[in-house]
Copies of this chain bind each other. A is one copy, B any other.
C-alpha cells in the first residue's frame, strides 16, 4: 500500500472513465525502446499515420459500435511525461540510453497529433479504422497501447449492450448490475458507462450515476430479507396513509392481507416466512411510494409472492402503489408468468386493477442467449438486470483492436505476415460509406486520400475484402464520409456530444442498418472494400516485400 499511496500523491494512478485521463506511462515498455530507436535514428519527427481497427466483428456478429473516443481525446490533451515518469524510465531503460533522449521526452506532447474517427457510437465494421492517428512517428507510436486500452473495452461493451438491447426488444428495461464482477473499480465504471451508451436504461452503480448522469436503480438484496426474523422486529410500525390520515399499524394490516392472499392463492399460511414478511413490511414503511420486493430468499410461490402481495395490497389500502417485484433465481420466464397470473388474480379478486401491471424484474446470470430463450418461451418480464454477462462479455472478452502503421514519411507501409488476416491495408485513407437503393448502408469503401471520391448515382469499382477478395462495381444512392476530425494541434476540435447524445446516435446508427447485418446469429457480412487504386498499391507492396 505504501507504493500505491506514494503513487496517488504523485498523481500517478491509472484513472479511467471517472477520473482524470490515464497517465502517459500507462503503456507497454516497447513503445519507449522503439521511441529511442526512432529518436536515435533521427526519425522521431517523421510524419506517420496509424490506424486503429479490429479484424472481426465481435460475438460472431455483423457489426460493432465505436466507443471510447471521448476518453482518447482527454488522454491526448493531457499526454505528457512527468519528471517522476522520466526518472522511472531512466531506471528501466539500458544504462547506455543517452541523456538527451530523456530531455527530449520531457518535451513530448500531442500538440502535433491529429485524430479522426467516426462519431462516437457509430456502427462500424471489421478493418475500417475506428481511429486514424497522424503525427510525428515517435509520438504516435507512444500512443498505441493507451489508445487501444481506451477503445477496445469501451467498444466491446457498447456492442455487447446493443446486442442485449436487440435480443430484449425495444420495450423491456435493461439495468446493468455488473460492478462486483468487473475488472476492478474502473472496469466497473467503464462497464456502466458503455453499457448505457450501447442501449441499457439504468445502472446500479451509484458512482457511475454521479459521474455520468446515468439513471440509477436498486432496491434490496437477500441480506436485507434474511436479516429479519419476525414482525416483532419492525420499527417504526406506523405508516401514514397517502392521503395524510391517521397513522396505521402497518404490520397488523399486512398480516390481515396475508391471510386473505393465502386463502385466495390456496397457500398454507404457516409456510410463509415471517422474517421475509417483516423485511417487506419494514421496507414498505420506509419507502411507501417505492416498494419493491425481492421474492426468492425463501420459496418464491409459497412465501415470497404471497408476502409481496399482502404488503402491496396493504399499501394499496393506504393509497400507495408498489413499484415492482424481483426474482433472482430459478426459471425466470416461467416464474414471471406465474407471478403475473397471481397479480391478475389478486387484482380481480380484490378489485385493484393496477395490480395486474406491477412491473416484474428478473436477474440471475442473464446472458444474450438466455434473453433469446426468454423471448421464445414467452414471459411477463418488464425489467432485466444483467451483471457478469454485460461487463465481462464472456462470448468474446476482448475486441482485439490493433493499431497499425500505414504510412511513414510519405511512403505507405504494410505488414505482410504469413497469417493473411493480419496483413494491413497501407496508406492514408478516406473511408466512404455507400448506401444502396433500399436505403441502407451497404459498403464501407476505403480509398487513398488523393483519389477522387465516389459519387452518388455513379458506378464505383471496388475490391471487396474478406475470405475471398473479388472485384465488383456498384452504384451508390448516397455517399457519406465516415470519419470526422476530432483532434488537432493538441486540442479537441468540435464540441463533443454528451453521453445522452451519443446514446441517441447509437440507436439512430443501428436503426439505419439493414436487419440482415443486425441478426445476432449468422448475420449477413457487411461489405468492406478498397478501391482499385488501393488494391493495386496493396499488391505492389506485397510483392515488393518478398
Residues of A at the B interface (CB closer than 8 Å) are 1, 3-5, 7-8, 12-20, 22-23, 25-34, 36-38, 40-43, 48, 50, 70, 73-74, 84-85, 88-89, 92, 94, 96, 137, 141, 144-146, 148-150, 152-154, 177, 179-191, 204-207, 209-213, 216-227, 229, 233-236, 271, 273, 275, 282-283, 285-290, 296-300, 329-330, 388, 391-394, 396-401, 403-405, 408, 411, 413-419, 422, 492, 496, 545-546
Contacts and interface: CB of A to CB of B under 8 A. Distances in A.
B14 A286 contact: no
Give the number of copies in the complex. 2
Nearest to A19: B13
A150 B222 CA distance: 21
A362 to B, nearest CB: 14
A43 B222 CA distance: 16
A186 B15 contact: yes
A179 to B, nearest CB: 6
B41 A233 contact: yes
Given A286-B41, A393-B397, A329 B149 contact: no
B204 A30 contact: yes
Nearest to A268: B546
B36 A286 contact: yes
Given A152-B180, A180-B145, A300-B418, A209 B18 contact: no
Contacts of A152: 180-181
B219 A33 contact: yes
Given A43-B235, A273-B546, A394-B397, 4 more contacts: A13-B16, A41-B234, A94-B287, A184-B189
Nearest to A411: B229
Contacts of A396: 394
B207 A26 contact: yes
A182 B411 contact: no
A200 to B, nearest CB: 15
Contacts of A37: 220, 224, 282-283, 286-287
A298 B186 contact: no
Which of the listed residues A22, A149, A422 has the most CB atoms from chain B within 10 Å of its own CB? A149
A202 to B, nearest CB: 9
Nearest to A421: B329
Contacts of A297: 415-417
A42 B224 contact: no
B413 A227 contact: yes
Nearest to A68: B184
A18 B27 contact: no
Contacts of A225: 415
Contacts of A3: 211-213
A293 to B, nearest CB: 12
8 contacts: A27-B179, A27-B205, A28-B204, A50-B223, A183-B183, A184-B190, A392-B392, A394-B397
Nearest to A227: B408
Contact of A19 (B8, B50, B222, B287): B8
A70 B184 CA distance: 13
Nearest to A153: B183
Contact of A422 (B8, B30, B329): B329
Contacts of A213: 3
A7 B211 contact: yes
Contacts of A28: 177, 179-180, 204-206, 218
Contacts of A296: 417-418
A398 to B, nearest CB: 4
A10 to B, nearest CB: 9
Given A3-B213, A297-B415, A496-B1, A148 B180 contact: yes
B398 A392 contact: yes
B14 A207 contact: yes
Contacts of A401: 180
A397 B367 CA distance: 13
Nearest to A426: B226
A329 B223 contact: no
Given A37-B282, A141-B223, A392-B398, A19 B26 contact: no
B29 A204 contact: yes
Nearest to A302: B546
A20 to B, nearest CB: 4
